Structure 1
Amino acid sequence: WEWVPQGLDWLRVLVITLMVGSLAALAVTGILLLVAIRRGKRLAGSKGWHRAMGYVLALPLLMFSVSGILHLVQSALEQPTSKLRLSPPVNVANARYPVERDWAEIAKGLDVNALSLVEGPGGRALYRLGLAQPGSASPKGEHDHSAHQGHKMPMGDSAIRNARFEGISPTGPALYIDAATGKPWGDGDKALARELGRRFSGAPDSAITHMELVTRFGPDYDFRNKRLPVWRIDYGAPVNATLFVDTATGVLADRTENWQKPERYIFSFIHKWNFLFPIGKIGLNAVVGGFMLALIGFMGGIGLWLDRKRRRPRSQPVA
C-alpha cells in the first residue's frame, strides 16, 4: 500500500492494521474455542484431525499477525530517513607515495580484490588493500589483523617488497599502506573501525561496550544495508545505539537505537522465521510457505468435508 499519498499514511496504517488484525482475531478466537470446548477424549476421524490442526495453525498465525502489526506501527512512528553517512573527503595533499609504481611488488603473493583510499586516525590517508579469502578459509572478513598482539610491522621498503607484511597473515580482511610514506600501517581494521565510530557517534572509545565483525546479514543488520563485511560497534551512554561502519569506504552503513532492537528481533524471528536461517533463505521460504499452505489446505479440505457431510440428508429409517 505504498501508493497511498504521504498525507494519508495514517489511512494506510489503519487499513493494514485492520486486515492483519483480522488474522490475529481469528487466531485468538480459535485458541479460545479450543481451550473452552474441551473433549474428554480425542474425536475420531476427520473431526479429530481438524481440531488437532487448529492447535498447530493458531500459533504461527498469531506470530505472523501480531509481529506484523508491531512492525507496521513502529515503522509508521519512525521517520523514514536513511542512516547512511559518508565520511568527509580524504585530504590527499600529502599523499605522495606512488602505489601504482610498486604495485607488482606490493601485491606479489597476495590475492587483492579491492583497493581504496581511506582516512585513518589523525587525518592520515591510507591505501586499504582488501584481500580475498582462500576457499578453505573462514568467511570473508572474519580475521582481524589487529588481533596479532606482540607482532610489529616492519617499517621499511623490505616489508613492501615481500608483500606479506611480516608477522601478519594475508588471510584477513585488509592490509594498510600509509599513502604519504609507503610504510605499512599495522593497527588494522579494528582500529580504523574505532576511528569511524568516534567520527560518526561523537563518543569516546570508553563508551564502546562491544565490537565485532559482521560477515553475514541477520536481525541486527539485514540485506537492505547491502554492504558486507562491516564492523558492529555497540555504544552505551550517552549514545545508546549500535553503529555499523564499512572500513573499505569509511561509511556509516547503519545505526540502530537500543529502543528499536526488540522490535527488530521480534520481526526477524517471529514474523520472518529467521530462526531457520541454517537451511538458507530459499530453504526457509520453501519450508515456511509449504508448511503453511499445506496446513491451511488440509484444514480447509477437512472443513469442507465436514460441512458437506453435515448438509447431506440422512436416510429415513424404514417403518
Structure 2
Amino acid sequence: MATAKQNFYKWHRILGLTALIPVIMWTLSGFSHPFMSNWFRPTIAKEFYKAQPLKEKPALSIKQVLDKNEIKDFINFGSISFKGQPYYQVLGMDSTYKYYSANTGSLLNDGDRLYATFLARYFTQDSTSKVKSITLQKTFDAEYQPINRLLPVWKIAFDRPDGMDVYIETSQSRMGTFNNTTRKVMLVVFEQLHTWQFLETIGGEQFRVVVLLIIVTVMFLSLLSGLTVYGLFWKKFKTATENRRRDKRKDTRFVHRFHRQLGIAVSLVMFTFTISGAFHLYVKLVNDKHPAQQGVKQSVKTDQLLTSNLQLPVADSLVKNVALAQFNGKTYYQLNDTKKHVKYFDVATGAELVDGDVAYAQYLAIQYGATPQVKVKGRVKVEQVREFTNEYGFINKRLPVQQVSYTNGENWYFETTTSQLATKVAGIDRAEGFSFIFLHKYFGMAWAGKNVRDIVSMLAALGVLVVSVFGFAGFIRNK
C-alpha cells in the first residue's frame, strides 16, 4: 500500500510538471480574454449600416443594365444606394463584383473598393483620415480570425493614431469586425497562447488539435492523481499539521500545504475547464462543422429575366435588397424587406412562390448534405430565427437565418440571402456547444451580467494558475 501511495505521488508530480507550461499559457491567456473581448475592446461609431431610402425609383431594370453592357451570364446581383444614387452590384462569372448605375447603366470603375471605403467611413464616422491600405481578404488570419465567419471581406486600414482596421463585406453592406492596435496585439497573443496556432504552422490543423487533446488529457490525469494523493495521505497531512502546531515549530512546508488546500478548492474549476476543453477538441477532430463547400453555385442567363425587378408587388419603401436565387429548376427574384421577410418571385412570370424562403432553406439543406426529406421519418420543420440563442449563439454572426430541423435531431441554420450555411448542430455538436459555453466560458453566470461573469472566469483561471505555481515551487523546494 505504501508503494502504491508513493507511485501516485510520483506520477502526480510528473503529470503536473508536464502540464505546467501549457497551464500557464492557457490560464494567462484566459485571464486576459475579458480585457480583449469586453473591457479593452475598441468602440466604433456605428455597428450596423442602415441605407438611406432612394428619393426616386431606378430608371433601369437589372436586365436593361445587363443588356446595355452586353452581359449574357452572371451569378447574382444586388441593389444598393451609393452617394445618393441607385446602383446594381453584379457578381460576374469571375466571382468579382462590378457596379452599374441603375439610372444610366454606366460602369463605376473600381466600384467594390469605393463602396467598401464608403462603408468603412460610415461605420467609423471618419470622413477625414487617410486610408493607409485597402486589400481584399479571402482567408482568415491572426487579426481576422475564423470566429468572424464572413469572407471575402475588404480590409480598410486607416492612417490614425489608434491604427483602426475595418473589415467590410460589400455584398451585404455589413462589417465583419474592427480592430485597433491594442486589440490586434491581444488577438495575436491569444491565438498563440490559447489556441496554439503555431502548431498548425508546424504540422497542420489536425496535428494541432491532437497535441492539444493530449495536453488536456495530461492535465485531467494530473487533477485526478492530485485528488487521489490527497485522499491517500490526508491523515498523514493532518497529523503532521497537528504535531507542528503542538510543538510550535516553524511551518517549512507551507508551499505544499497551500498547493493542496487551494488545489482542493479549485479542483471543480479545473475539472470543468479540462472536460469541456477536451470535449471541444474531440468534436473538432472528428466532426467538421463547416463543410468546405461555400455557398451554392448558380449561373443566371440575362435572357431569363422576363419580369422586371422594378415591377415586383412590394412597396419601394419596404425593399431592402433584391437578388436572385436558383433552385428546383427555376430562378426567382429574392426580395428581402425591411421587416426581415424574404419573398420569392419567378423571374419569368412574376408569380410569388408561397413559403419561398422555407422551400429555399430546405433546398440548401440538401445541397449542403442534409438527409433528404424522403428518407427522414416525420416532418421537417423550418422556422426563421431572428435573435441568437444558446444553440445558435452570437459566434455564428449571421441573422436572420432559417432553422431547418430534422426529426433525427439535426438542426441546419441557413442565411438564405447569401445561400450560406451558418452552422449545423447535431447531437454531439449540441452537447459540445452547451458544455463549452457553460463549463468553459461560464455563460451560466450571464444572469449576473457580462462584467460579473468575466470576473468569475478570471478568478477561476487565476486559481488554477496559482495552484500550478505553488505545485512547481513545492517541487523545487524538495530538490
Q: TM-score, normalised by structure 1?
A: 0.60
Give the aligned partner of residue 178 of structure 1.
346
Q: In the aligned structure 1, how far is the partner of 2:465 from the partner of 2:294? A: 48
Q: In the aligned structure 1, how far is the partner of 2:384 from the partner of 2:228? A: 46
One-letter amino acid of the counterpart of residue 227, structure 2 = I
1:113 aligns with 2:320: yes
Give the aligned partner of residue 221 of structure 2.
25
Q: In the aligned structure 1, how far is the partner of 2:317 from the partner of 2:288? A: 48
What displacement does 1:58 show?
0.9
Which secondary structure does the structure 1 equivalent of 2:325 belong to? strand
1:131 aligns with 2:337: yes
Give the aligned partner of residue 233 of structure 1.
404
Q: In the aligned structure 1, how far is the partner of 2:321 from the partner of 2:456? A: 38
Larger mean CA deviation between 73-82 and 267-276 belongs to: 73-82
Which secondary structure does the structure 1 equivalent of 2:336 belong to? strand
Matched positions, count:
257
1:98 aligns with 2:294: no
Give the aligned partner of residue 65 of structure 1.
274
What displacement does 1:60 show?
1.6
Q: In the aligned structure 2, how far is the partner of 1:13 from the partner of 1:175? A: 43
Alpha carbons 1:83, 1:253 under 8 Å: kept: no
Give the aligned partner of residue 431 of structure 2.
262
RMSD: 4.5
- Picking from 194, 202, 207, the partner of 1:4 is 202
Which secondary structure does the structure 2 equivalent of 1:97 belong to? coil
In the TM superposition, what are the counterparts of 1:135-146 in structure 2 within 5 Å?
none
Which secondary structure does the structure 2 equivalent of 1:3 belong to? helix
One-letter amino acid of the counterpart of residue 346, structure 2 = D
Q: Which has the higher strand share?
A: 2
Q: TM-score, normalised by structure 2?
A: 0.43
Q: In the aligned structure 2, how far is the partner of 1:13 from the partner of 1:194? A: 33
One-letter amino acid of the counterpart of residue 271, structure 1 = H
Q: In the aligned structure 1, how far is the partner of 2:399 from the partner of 2:453? A: 23
Q: In the aligned structure 1, how far is the partner of 2:333 from the partner of 2:347? A: 6
1:194 aligns with 2:194: no
What displacement does 1:203 show?
1.0
Q: In the aligned structure 2, how far is the partner of 1:185 from the partner of 1:216? A: 25
Q: 1:283 to 1:178 in 2, by over 3 A?
A: farther
Q: Deviations over 1:287-317 (max 9, x none)?
A: 344222453577689x69xx8xx9xxxxxxx
Q: In the aligned structure 1, how far is the partner of 2:372 from the partner of 2:326? A: 18
Q: In the aligned structure 1, how far is the partner of 2:448 from the partner of 2:322? A: 34
Q: 1:213 to 1:28 in 2, by over 3 A?
A: farther
Q: 1:217 to 1:279 in 2, by over 3 A?
A: farther
Structure 2: any 5+ residue segments left out of the alignment?
A: 1-198, 246-253
Which secondary structure does the structure 2 equivalent of 1:68 belong to? helix
Q: 1:69 to 1:116 in 2, by over 3 A?
A: same
Q: 1:202 to 1:180 in 2, by over 3 A?
A: farther
1:251 aligns with 2:460: no
Which secondary structure does the structure 1 equivalent of 2:284 belong to? helix
In the TM superposition, what are the counterparts of 1:193-212 in structure 2 within 5 Å?
193-200=361-368, 201=370, 203-204=372-373, 207=377, 208-212=379-383
What displacement does 1:61 show?
0.8
What displacement does 1:231 show?
1.7
Q: In the aligned structure 2, how far is the partner of 1:114 from the partner of 1:283? A: 38
Q: Deviations over 1:200-223 (max 9, x none)?
A: 436126654543333445665456
Alpha carbons 1:244, 1:255 under 8 Å: kept: yes
Q: 1:79 to 1:293 in 2, by over 3 A?
A: closer
Alpha carbons 2:305, 2:348 under 8 Å: kept: yes
Structure 1: any 5+ residue segments left out of the alignment?
A: 133-170, 311-319
What displacement does 1:259 show?
4.7
Which secondary structure does the structure 2 equivalent of 1:292 belong to? helix
Q: In the aligned structure 2, how far is the partner of 1:265 from the partner of 1:195? A: 28
Q: 1:76 to 1:299 in 2, by over 3 A?
A: closer
Q: Identity over the aligned pairs, expressed in percent? A: 22
Give the aligned partner of residue 143 of structure 1.
none
What displacement does 1:263 show?
3.3
